[in-house]
Amino acid sequence: MSTELHHLSDYNEQNVPDASNMCFGVVVAEWNPEITGALLDGTVRTLEKHGAIPENIHIKTVPGSFELIYGAQQMTKNDGFDAIIILGSVIKGETPHFDYICQGVTYGIARLNASQNIPVIYGLLTTNDLQQAKDRSGGRLGNKGDECAIDAIKMAKF
């Protein structure tokens, strides 16, 4: 569903399990820090809103979005996580680099989900411009970080 038709921060709170006994790993790309920082804020705020305690939210940073794959893979090796969330932002530029990064990260995270016993939640914004990224990281279309947190809680319970 298009984000234009679905506000990223809207969800039915009654359908969200209690996260007080859950532990989450979050891998955040340092590239586009204005966007990824806002995604992280939304993620942490929503996890805590649903019971996750701060000590059970473990945040690691990686240089860019492509490195999210390695960071998530390393976190899957830790027996203590119930779910892992990756957060990044790739904004289209003038070269095909955007396509390669987006495809690579998507494939890498899909591979982790198919091969590991811990859900890895895909929080990579892939936008045409900075304004679209701002709109989806706490702007007029909500915060993808909120959505990722809810997905992580639900998949951890799955």
Band of residue 3 on the pLDDT scale cut at 50, 70, 90: low
Please list the residues that pair with 129 across neighbouring strands: none
Known binding residue 94? Answer is yes
Rounded mean pLDDT, 28-39: 98
Known binding residue 137? Answer is no
pLDDT at 129 over 80: yes
Known binding residue 30? Answer is no
**148 exposed, middle or buried (CB, 10 Å; 0-12, 13-18, 19+)?**
buried
58 is catalytic: no
Contacts for 113 with CB less than 8 Å, ≥ 6 apart: 119, 120
Domain boundaries of the chain, sorted by first residue = 22-154
pLDDT at 9 over 90: no
Q: Percent of the chain, pLDDT > 90?
A: 87
Structure tokens at 19: 């996260």
Is residue 98 classed as helix, strand or coil in its secondary structure? Answer: helix
Known binding residue 67? Answer is yes
The CATH fold of domain 22-154: Rossmann fold (3.40.50)
pLDDT at 1 over 60: no
Predicted model pTM = 0.94
pLDDT of residue 78: 81
Rounded Cα distance between 123 and 28, Å, is: 9
**Contact 119/125 with Cβ under 8 angstroms?**
no
pLDDT of residue 5: 64
Please list the residues that pair with 89 across neighbouring strands: 125
pLDDT at 14 over 90: no
Is residue 105 classed as helix, strand or coil in its secondary structure? Answer: helix
Q: Which candidate in 6, 7, 58, 97 is catalytic?
A: 97
